[in-house]
Amino acid sequence: MATFLRYPDFKRKAVTLSYDDAVDFDKKLIEIMGEYGLKGTFNINHAGIGKDGWHTIPEDELFKMYLSSGNEIAVHGAEHFSLGEVDAAMATRDILSNREFLEKKMGKIVRGMAYANGSCDQRIADIVKNCGIVYARTVNSTRSFELPKNWLLLDPTTHHADKELDNLVDRFLSIEKQRYTWANSPKLFYLWGHSYEFHTGDNWYIIENFAKKISGREDIWYATNMEIYDYVSAYNSLIYSCDGSMITNPSCTDIYLEYFGKEIIIPAGQTVSAR
């Protein structure tokens, strides 16, 4: 069936960011993201929050900063353990205690995660799933723009220090609608890193140039990691009649799609004729 997901307003591209460790350099990063309309997810390991340490943020200030920015907060492990190097009980405790802490502080359910030190495998992904996490980011750059096939081993497009970053952005922006429907799959540019790297490398210009170049595009949806996951999940929940002439959307999200070259909106909780 020639049915393709489209992001809200029939956009075919999405951009999201993912930054780790909750240090005070996140303030500047959030300001840059806000200036250019970018959104993303900040992954917090909470054991050192509010304590003396390298560029830590007082607890109250930290959560006020993140909650007011419209970005997502996600799990990064209470102690920042390399989960692939610890047993199942310790990994489970590290994930769940971090998730519980974040949820109590924010009054929101937390279902996203980034693997501390990039340490993960299928064993850990299974533990993550059992902890109620629905997506978890690795550090394995794909340099591609396809949606992930395994959200619990979610590989990003690239790290911001990638020497090919500017070329990747050019490739992403140059993608045009193709003549053949099958070539029009949705695209995602997923950037990750640590905000302190801009400080230690004295290269804030990298993220500023990235934001300036990729922002303000009418064909791009700028969203958090979870917003993208939830939208794709809602698309995947669509129900089709035997002949494909009717589509039901059981979710609470309006879904945009391209069906045999025709743009269709499936409103939340409704069934529409696709022909």
Q: What is the pLDDT of residue 61?
A: 84
Tokens of residue 198, six digits: 């801009």
Backbone angles phi, psi at 182, to 5 degrees: -65, -20
72 and 224 in contact (C-beta within 8 Å)? yes
Using CB atoms within 10 Å of the CB of residue 177, give its burial: 0 to 12 exposed, 13 to 18 middle, 19+ buried: exposed
Q: What is the pLDDT of residue 190?
A: 98
Distance of CA 110 to the CA centre of its chain: 13
231 and 206 in contact (C-beta within 8 Å)? no
As a whole number of angstroms, the distance between CA 25 and CA 199 comes to: 7
Q: What is the pLDDT of residue 267?
A: 98
Q: What is the pLDDT of residue 56?
A: 73
As a whole number of angstroms, the distance between CA 125 and CA 133 comes to: 9
Q: What is the pLDDT of residue 228?
A: 98
Whose tokens are 């969203």? That residue is 223
Helix ranges (H only) for 183-255 are 196-200, 205-214, 225-236
As a whole number of angstroms, the distance between CA 250 and CA 233 comes to: 11
Q: What is the pLDDT of residue 266?
A: 97
pTM above 0.85, yes or no: yes
State which amino acid sits at residue 149: K
User: Which part of the chain is CATH 3.20.20.370?
Assistant: 10-236
Q: What is the pLDDT of residue 184?
A: 77
Residues of the chain with pLDDT under 70: 1, 50-55, 177-183
Whose tokens are 């999940």? That residue is 233
Q: What is the pLDDT of residue 15?
A: 98
Q: What is the pLDDT of residue 109?
A: 97
Q: What is the pLDDT of residue 49?
A: 77
Report the chain's terminal Cα–Cα distance, integer Å.
Answer: 13
SS3 167: helix
As a whole number of angstroms, the distance between CA 157 and CA 214 comes to: 14
CATH number of the domain at 10-236, please?
3.20.20.370
Beta-bridge partners for 50:
none
DSSP letter at 201?
A: T
Q: What is the pLDDT of residue 29?
A: 97
Q: What is the pLDDT of residue 195?
A: 96
